[in-house]
């Protein structure tokens, strides 16, 4: 049975602690495109709480549904490119804004909003709250394992923003 089917078969149980997923997205070989992965890696060094799971992924579209199953809250970090955006700017977005991010759509054109809508329609146990931190990228096409300077400077700032986002649930470590 696939994990999507397994999730549908499980009864809805409530844990004493609300489970949170922090999902860093990107491709570390494409310059700024890897910024979500780098933020997630740093958060792994800073967070040690059993109710928080941190995953680094290059998945997109419908493949993301599998990762989101069973969490109360999801925090997604990804590179974003907006018209007139300044590299290194950080945006806190809601699900309706997802179509502007690089990884929230797959090559088959199933964007993240469509995937979430599909998951809800078929009754998947998706997070009740989804937050996206989009970091404005300058270069997401050059083969380079380093981010551009402005995006690299945004990494520790985004780490702190995510820590603030989860801080209402108690001590971080």
Closest-CA residue to 129 (of 76, 53, 64): 76
In whole angstroms, what is the distance from residue 169 CA to residue 39 CA?
A: 20
Confidence of residue 109 (pLDDT cuts 50, 70, 90): low
* Domains of the chain with bracketed CATH: 18-167 (3.40.50.1450)
* 131-141 pLDDT, tens digit each: 999 999 999 99
**Quick one: what percent of the chain has pLDDT higher than 70?**
79
Task: Identify each DSSP E strand in the chain by its residue range.
Answer: 20-25, 52-57, 73-80, 90-93, 129-136
Query: Tell me, what's the pLDDT at 57?
Result: 94
* 69-104 pLDDT, tens digit each: 999 999 999 999 999 999 999 999 987 665 544 455
pTM of the shown model = 0.82
Summary mean pLDDT of the chain: 83
Query: Tell me, what's the pLDDT at 168?
Result: 65
């Amino acid at each position: 049975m696939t994990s999507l089917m397994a999730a549908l078969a499980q009864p809805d149980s409530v844990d004493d602690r609300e489970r949170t997923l922090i999902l860093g997205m990107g491709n570390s070989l494409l310059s700024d495109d890897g910024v979500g992965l780098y933020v997630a890696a740093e958060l792994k060094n800073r967070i040690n709480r059993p109710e928080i799971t941190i995953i680094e992924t290059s998945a997109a579209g419908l493949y993301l549904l599998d990762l989101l199953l069973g969490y109360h809250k999801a925090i997604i970090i990804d590179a974003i490119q907006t018209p007139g955006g300044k590299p290194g700017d950080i945006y806190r977005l809601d699900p309706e804004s997802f179509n502007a991010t690089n990884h929230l759509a797959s090559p088959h054109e199933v964007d993240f909003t469509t995937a979430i809508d599909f998951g809800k329609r078929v009754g998947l146990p998706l997070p009740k709250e989804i937050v996206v931190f989009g970091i404005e990228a300058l270069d997401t096409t050059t083969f380079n394992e380093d981010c551009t300077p402005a995006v690299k400077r945004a990494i520790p700032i985004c780490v702190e923003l995510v820590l603030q986002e989860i801080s209402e649930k108690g001590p971080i470590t």
